[in-house]
Structure 1
């Protein structure tokens, strides 16, 4: 028996042995997670303090606790979580350790850890190896805090910028998202292949499935996607997370598929996920969503029915709710047949705990924490990722990089100006450079739950200050876009985060017009968490650096870009529209969607998917296919010569797209099927090759079967979805 199978068999025996000793109440406790805010605290003298409610829960054991020690330093958190784990083991009958869980949108969601750029920034690097290194660091920092799982990454496809959670996903594209999710899961899990060594944590890939497609971009709204779109575009990142990256967890989606709530969808959570894909980890609800099958979704008659529906669907763990799986012990007394389903759920949870090594080594070696969290190396990695994610959208007359910046007075202006912006620019340019600093105005009242845009009359004086400050500079950098208040998660009970408009908030368009009228070079530094319609910025700015939401030292990367110490290499992970009325606007829509433009606007996006300029220029030539006619089950090679014809050593993302010209169903206009990021010196050429495999050509046809159909295809290799060199090939029976 291979070693991996032997270890799995040993784990299975241990799980069955433990399961046989458990009471029904203890089993159900292993199917629940509560938040540390329920009463898990740390006293000033570093002692564990638990509320009576928490003590009562832990007497039976628990599947896990969310965010314990999140506001403590890494050292304090490791001590705290060791004490918490010790209490759980020593104060429950069977001593089953708990999983401690975090989230990781831009690093571990806790005090004192490295703050990286958000997932959309990571996608903008188009560098899966770099993204894997980032997530490897996240996994290590989380484990040193005594954490074991993270409710990340998101494998949702993000195509609606009204959705406040847009930057939590990786892109509008299935292929790019898939590569990034696989990199994230394998990184955070430390290339997990059977048992973890105590240095990393498990991933809970979410939200399964279709969550990014909520109607109107509104959180908790319904989801309207066809079965074919689901199979070909939405599910592949999740399938890859399961089969390639071996994610230890899957979180169900808030939403529904064809009216069937995902939290009650057995075809999704069991038939597809487990029986077809072979998933062996645990499934978990999104917060309170099993109970919401009754009181929100309206598909369960009673709370009891909701609990039974979630259990039957295949959800192993109930996150937070007190009115769902909490009822299972009582329900099982009247319905003993559900005990088998409870046992199966508990098996998945216990198996994960054995894989994590919690039974053999439930504690953190606290001595390893100092010097290993938020280290110079991790900060350098965050900076490296920042540099690779910044996208140069516009650069008229070679405005960037600035020549002789050290002799100019630089005006740093705008509502997205950060507290550390001047400091970071001085690190790059030195203390002798003259700066003019003026934020001007705030975008919102910064209310945590329901922020409101500040009225123009309130911000008018700030606008005048900003314009006056800009007039004092030789060159103006305008920090514009949006922040954590203009794009955020819209929580269930209270809180708004989605928008009906994607226009920049407040007086920003007027600010860029007024500053441009001064006759000085204007560089927009675009910071945001959702795609914005930046037509005014694009019209009036001489250059635009799109930064999304960078790490804690993001403006250091911006400063280096501005003066030419670094060269932009990021590419757009989403299409940028001119107006919200163009929705849907993702590049890979059905080909027929592009037949007609809009009156008075046209049909083209402001910037296409995959777009991004450089300080260098790249020429594509000599596209060669190893065969122009292949059989349906065969692979072939496509290669292209890429030459740096510019004056800077620079990185370029070589992108492969394929269009199926004729299909049994209407096919997309274009689809990303490969990419590679390369670095070339001035004058250097390199041949870049891609292997086109049958799975890259397959789709769900008229008969609802996923396969490669014979016919003609167009292959494109270039610098974006809208530019490249082309070749034709044919697939034959």
Structure 2
């Protein structure tokens, strides 16, 4: 009888367990707020803190070619009670192997912690997903050169999809930094020097990678982490980790808008803080920045994440905390939710919580934001990847075609004397492809476009020794230059591949690695090579690729034509070949002001008008090429510019319009740009500011009237009393083909 009773009790217990409703946090029909609160109420402090930490997969997460997972003892120890996330698992594997390995890794993590909390797997995106086997697009600044945010959006839709198919969930991209100092090695990771251009592309990128937000919960896309908040592109001297000095007015009017739009318009899931300080206050310990502005003013609900190890660095680098404990408390109090990589910062919080239990409320806040993100991404319900979809949908033909399309819209024709381009293919038989920026597949890409020509292909010399951490300039170049000049004698036309590469402009890491430069002149004897080849008397074309703005006065002086590609996709040279042979028409515009020399820095088109009063001795004044500059193989005439009314009231709206006509013989795309100048203000105002642009396609002889709305909101700025608002007065409109060329109009802002 006793045995029967025991069996009956056991069966009833099993039955009860089977019928027991799931925990609230597991119920996808409940609100996310309810689910997060329920889960937090059950977790220990140690478990919560682990939801505030991310480590790198290089600690010992290994995936082989078949997708089999092995983990070091260190990794297993870190995963005992869960983790916020892991950076770059499977980055060196094929997409299918990565998907299999990340599935296994996620399964292990879920099974290890008592609540089955999944982890966030995190990637980055500078040329598409930064991982093996994905579609490689051009860099963000290359996308900016297209002046086509819709195209940027479509590229990042692919990025978000391909990343999710690998098993990734968050992306420490895009950069919302406004970058104006070409000494800075990370320049190409951002979308240029102009606040409005950056803002439009950041919104396009975030909505793309997040699948218009709908792609998060249905498992097709990943969350974005906009970075680096804030002012990171303005590091002093252009050196990584340096101080940042920005006036509060400039910060509010020029640096904040892309981040504000990332939060309010694009609904970014994450924000990463800046390495630097901000006017003396370390960004990772800045409650005004991370809480007052980001959350209270803008309403950000996602999580903040440190840049690598920067919470701990509040102590041992920034010198604003007395100890590692104090650094952790500073970051937590300011509003930092997730500690990236460090074992000497938030790892200390459980101990500190025992000593100061009042911080548990802050721990709950931050851990809750991470859990909320995981629920938005649907990871509790669907933590794994369908590997069959991975195999089918990564590097689809449509994605590769998009890379080609983006390349073609991003290439900038800086110079084209005497209509050197496009080349008349009937007039040339032998074409030389020469120079240090030549790529491995350049010959193949040119042959794909123009197969029935003789190609002479030679790199000649490398720019550096290509050491990863601290590359050295190659000084053994004389023989290579001589060789290239001799080869150039044999050609009918010479195409020189010049500029820079991934070794001459890159991120400078904390320990040892350098990537910033004290000069923006081209590395090595590139100007000498160009002069000597040009002296041969043959058409000389420069294909200019680079990751930072360079002072190319030598290129501009000696080349017959210059095609600027920044850093294009894996198919970039094919797009260049199309341009050179006239199968495509350049339509890119410069996303930066191109100076004549480093001595002009800081030098962006929207600088204060008073900056232009004086030039320099012994040098022509102004930029080499202005912001927004870019030529075409056809010509465009701007006529009939007008505003719909001479005055703008508050509230109200007027339109500015201009007729654009293709007066050439080839179809082409033109970027019509609208700039506004506030003629009189209570504080000194920018010379002009880009406020709108539109890219249009015109057939030969075709005309289109392009109209832009001008609203009072476009005219707001931080006034003398530090309030943001309007001031009545006169404004000048420039409708044109660049920041320096177009039709001007006037209107007056008046009180209602």
Indicate whether the TM-score tops 0.5. yes
C-alpha contact (below 8 Å) 2:145/2:589 kept by paired residues: yes
CA separation in 1, counterparts of 2:467 and 2:223?
Answer: 34
What SS does the corresponding residue of 1:561 show, helix, strand or coil?
A: helix
**In structure 1, what is the Cα distance between the partners aligned to 2:653 and 2:721?**
24
How far apart are residue 494 of structure 1 and its match? 1.6
| Aligned-pair CA distance for 1:623 | 1.2
CA contact (8 A) 1:405 1:563 kept: no
* Structure 2 residue 582 is the aligned partner of structure 1 residue 567: no
- Any residues of structure 2 matched to 1:237-316 within 5 Å, and which? 237-316=258-337
The residue that corresponds to 1:104 in the other structure is: 125
Contact 2:65 2:93 in 1 (8 A): no
Q: Secondary structure at the match of 2:155?
A: helix
3-state SS, counterpart of residue 672 of structure 2:
strand
* Matched position secondary structure for 2:233: helix
Which whole-Å CA distance do the structure 2 matches of 1:621 and 1:608 have between them? 22
- Deviation of 1:693 after TM superposition, in Å, equals 1.6
Task: Give the structure 1 partner of residue 457 of structure 2.
Answer: 437
Give the whole-Å Cα distance in 2 for the aligned partners of 1:301 and 1:60. Answer: 30
The answer on whether the counterparts of 1:8 and 1:194 sit within 8 Å (CA) in structure 2 is no
Pick one of 64, 69, 89 that aligns with 1:48. 69
- Cα distance in 2 for partners of 1:312, 1:564 equals 59
Deviations 1:482-517 (A, max 9, x none): 000000000001200000000000010100000010
From the superposition, tell whether residues 44 and 145 of structure 1 become closer, same or farther in structure 2 (CA, over 3 Å): closer
Superimposed CA distance per residue, residues 298-342 of structure 1 (whole angstroms, 9 cap, x where no aligned partner): 000000000000000101000000000000000000100000000
| CA–CA separation in structure 2 for the residues paired with 1:705 and 1:444 | 50
1:28 correspondence with 2:49: yes
3-state SS in 2 of match to 1:235: helix
Shift >6 Å, 4+ stretches: 6-9
Change (3 A) 1:9 1:268: farther
Q: 1:544 to 1:195 in 2, by over 3 A?
A: closer
Deviation at 1:256, TM superposition (A): 1.0
Deviation at 1:423, TM superposition (A): 0.5
How big is the shift at 1:480?
0.2
2:711 corresponds in structure 1 to: 693
Cα deviation per residue 1:25-75 (whole Å; 9 max; x = unaligned)?
000000000000001112466432111111111111000000001111111
- Secondary structure of the residue aligned to 1:659 is strand
Please give the secondary structure, in 1, of the residue aligned with 2:81: coil
Determine the C-alpha separation between the residues in 2 that align with 1:695 and 1:165.
32
**d(CA) in 2 for partners of 1:715, 1:222:** 36
The residue that corresponds to 1:446 in the other structure is: 466
1:581 aligns with 2:599: yes
Distance 1:669 1:633 in 2: 25
Structure with the greater alpha carbon radius of gyration: 2
- Figure out how many residues of one structure are paired with residues of the other and give that number: 725
Q: Give me the whole-angstrom Cα distance separating, in 1, the residues matched to 2:406 and 2:128.
A: 12
Of 338, 344, 349, the match for 2:359? 338
1:85 aligned onto 2:103? no
Distance 1:636 1:412, change over 3 A: same
Distance 1:434 1:591, change over 3 A: same
Aligned with 1:520 (options 519, 532, 538): 538
Rounded to whole Å, the distance in 2 between the matches of 1:8 and 1:270 is 30
Counterpart in 1 of 2:242?
Answer: 221
Say which of 99, 118, 122 aligns to 2:139: 118
Distance 1:39 1:620 in 2: 61
CA distance in 1, matches of 2:662, 2:107: 59
Distance in 1, Cα, partners of 2:30 & 2:616: 61
TM-score when normalising by structure 1: 0.98
Post-superposition shift, 1:226?
Answer: 0.2
Aligned equivalents of 1:474, 1:405: Cα separation in 2: 11
Counterparts of 1:234 and 1:150, CA distance in 2: 22
The aligned counterpart of 1:363 is 384
| Alignment correspondent of 1:486 | 504
State the Cα RMSD in Å: 1.2
Deviation at 1:404, TM superposition (A): 2.1
SS in 1 for 2:424: coil
Deviates more, 1:375-384 or 1:229-238: 375-384
Please tell me whether the aligned partners of residues 406 and 433 of structure 1 are also in contact (alpha carbons under 8 angstroms).
no
CA deviation digits over 1:97-154, x for unaligned, max 9? 0000000011001000001000010000000100000000000000000000000000
Measure, in 2, the Cα distance between the counterparts of 1:82 and 1:107: 22
Partner residue, 1:617: 635
Q: CA deviation at 1:371?
A: 2.4
- Secondary structure (helix, strand or coil) at the match of 2:706 reads strand
TM-score after normalising by structure 2: 0.95
* Equivalent residue in structure 2 for 1:401, among 422, 443, 456: 422
From 743, 746, 749, the equivalent of 1:725 is 743
Tell me how far apart the structure 2 counterparts of residues 79 and 200 of structure 1 sit (CA, whole Å): 18
| Aligned residue in 1 for 2:232 | 211
Could you report, residue by residue, the CA deviation over 1:228-259 in whole angstroms, capped at 9, with x for unpaired residues? 00000000000000000000000000011110
Post-superposition CA distance 1:666-692 (Å, at most 9, x none): 000010000000000000000101011
Identify the match of residue 19 of structure 1 among 35, 40, 48. Answer: 40
1:408 shift after superposition: 2.1
1:3 matched to which residue of 2? Answer: none
Return 5+ residue gaps in structure 1 as ranges.
1-5
Is contact 1:159–1:171 with CA below 8 Å preserved after alignment? yes
The structure-2 alpha-carbon separation of the partners of 1:349 and 1:86, relative to structure 1 and needing over 3 Å to count, comes to same
- 1:313-328 superposed matches below 5 A: 313-328=334-349
2: distance between equivalents of 1:380 and 1:248? 29
Asked whether the 8 Å contact 1:36–1:65 carries over to 2, the reply is: yes
Structure 1 residue 407, shift from structure 2 partner: 4.0
Corresponding residue number in structure 2 for 1:169: 190
Q: 1:222 to 1:732 in 2, by over 3 A?
A: same
SS of corresponding position for 2:144? helix
> 2:19 is matched with which residue?
none
- How many Å separate the matches in 1 of 2:106 and 2:254? 41
**Is the 8 Å Cα contact of residues 730 and 747 (structure 2) preserved in structure 1?**
yes
Task: Return 116-125 or 433-442, whichever deviates more.
Answer: 433-442
Give the conservation status (yes or no) of the 8 Å contact 2:178–2:192.
yes
Q: What is the deviation of 1:8? A: 10
Matches of 2:449 and 2:427 in 1, distance apart? 10
**1:548-563 paired onto structure 2 within 5 Å:** 548-563=566-581
